[in-house]
Chain A
């Protein structure tokens, strides 16, 4: 009896020890396994299928010719003026929306941070509120608002500020507004989540030492909010460059996502669509890497000219 008693804990201890030795990496890996499996299934595997298709030949009766290898799709994508103009427009849209959403997001998040009580709840609620409506409806709603015969034009006309209606929709202004409205809540929440952890005394200390209001925000708030700003910028940029709904509903121009949809569903040219997607993915990765480097640099000493 005594022997089994001492035997049992010893073996248990042994198991625990051997587990403990592996734990450093293995247990963390175990916890991540579901996530890794998910990523593998919905991102990595489909991406390799996409990559494979982009190197396939086109086929007259199928969407692509299986088992073939060629660089034809890439050469036609890279030499097409239309494709490059679509890339340009997509990136322009991405950059404009990102700059606006980060700037407005910073102001809005700062306002939420500084407000108290009911006002704070109202401001937070109004950020989340648009997310409760489906994206298509809230984007489409800009049509009656911004169209030549819409509310805004009527208002401007009746105030005598313009003599003839301006066509915001369909048009670039409309897409920018629509896409901004889609990404802004995420930008605000990303920046606010960082600001919420900040100590207001630090801003007071800056003012106390002679920094004016805008200067104290630039010197103290913005550098500290940088992690949130980076997240906001990446979300806004990636989503806007690849935007589909807003351009489809509000734009006269074609963006990358719309072109890919056309190539796949109307023209049935899968290799071309796949090659274009791979190109965009690479361009996006490069631009996000550049964005990270630039924004991270601001996180340190922020020199004003």
Chain B
């Protein structure tokens, strides 16, 4: 039973602001990932929850109790550090038993519990080892066991997987997910890796420049990003600059840098006027490639006709580059001199070649639009 509430959390170091206006309610038993690029304040936020940093202002409550000024050793939170921070002069077992020793658990009992926890992370039998001789993955497991051994209300993970190689990292993600489901405890996991966040999280909180921009379930933040930063951070996309040339009932017409006029269907009155500059996002997964530029539109891709007879959600361009990426092939396409990219699954036998003229098309409702300040335009 552990809910954490952060209210208007702010942390300044002299002139620089590391974290500001962070407010979020972390639900009991959920796994929340704080995701953001380095320097976005996600680790600082985690350290404030741990009590390793004192907020400049704001409030942290743990199960309703204000813990803002409580030192780390009085809080029942436990942190797994990025570099694991194992005690080098203690054995693996002593490391895991350390928190219990600090809680005055009798020697036999803490030994027993530490051994059980080592078993839990598949490190049974390593109790007498010197932690400095272990591999990265093993250190990671011991650090996890050490933090879990104290039965924390909240487990805080500060990029603990970022020092592992890709394969091991992916294994550990799944294992972490399993441990979380087993224990039903609240986990807060900090990472800069969006794949890791998508794999692990019940909810993702995205941070940029010290602010928590959006909190939501993985599908929600991916499909419905709050601003342009999130759209760009959560995966590859084509950002296309454009300007509104007409707002009619049910549609916003824009002139793009691709040299095409596009129509964005809308079911409300979006707050845009003629002349408003917009950045459109065209994710590769919403784009389809048609080899014959004059073919009929793919079914489902609504193509409103424009006054001059051309369709509104398709562009014709020349393949410039073919990038084979294993499961997908990425095509860099020049559309009237502006470059964009589209993807097809690698299994396709009719691979495109450079120089080929193709048509890229999409469904108008899949396009997201952002203002110049990065904010989202709800269409």
Contacts and interface: CB of A to CB of B under 8 A. Distances in A.
Interface stretch (A143-151, A163-171, A197-205): A197-205
A224 B87 CA distance: 9
Interface of A is mostly: helix
Given A208-B52, A211-B73, A223 B79 contact: no
A209 B83 contact: no
B52 A209 contact: no
A209 B85 contact: no
A201 B81 contact: yes
A205 B99 CA distance: 10
Contact of A210 (B50, B86, B89, B103): B103
Given A207-B73, A209-B150, A301-B90, A199 B83 contact: yes
Given A209-B146, A209-B150, A204 B90 contact: no
A205 B150 contact: no
B85 A210 contact: no
Contacts of A205: 79, 81, 85-87, 146
A299 B130 CA distance: 14
A223 B89 CA distance: 7
B156 to A, nearest CB: 8
Interface residues of B, number: 25
Contacts of A202: 85-88
Contact of B89 (A211, A215, A216, A224): A224
A210 B81 contact: no
A208 B88 contact: no
Given A204-B72, A205-B79, A210 B99 contact: yes
B363 interface: no
Interface string A208-227: 11111101100110011000
Contacts of A301: 90, 94
Contacts of B45: none
B89 A299 contact: yes
Interface string B70-96: 011100011101010111111000100
B252 to A, nearest CB: 51
B87 A206 contact: yes
A300 interface: yes
B295 interface: no
B98 interface: yes
Report which residue of A206, A207, A209, A299 has the largest number of chain B beta carbons within 10 angstroms of its beta carbon. Answer: A209
A208 B78 contact: yes
B98 A209 contact: yes
Contacts of B50: 208
A75 B52 CA distance: 64
Nearest to A200: B85
Contacts of B86: 202, 205
B94 A211 contact: no
B323 interface: no
Contacts of A223: 89
A208 to B, nearest CB: 5
B85 A199 contact: yes
Contact of A211 (B51, B79, B102): B102
Given A208-B50, A210-B73, A220 B78 contact: no
A102 to B, nearest CB: 18
A213 B71 CA distance: 10
Nearest to A209: B99
Nearest to B76: A210
A302 to B, nearest CB: 9
Nearest to B47: A204
Nearest to A304: B101
18 contacts: A204-B52, A204-B79, A204-B81, A205-B86, A205-B87, A206-B98, A207-B71, A208-B51, A208-B77, A208-B79, A209-B73, A209-B99, A209-B102, A209-B146, A210-B103, A211-B73, A213-B73, A301-B90
- Closest 4 A/B residue pairs (Cβ): A210-B102, A209-B99, A201-B85, A205-B85
Interface of B: 50-52, 71-73, 77-79, 81, 83, 85-90, 94, 98-99, 102-103, 146-147, 150
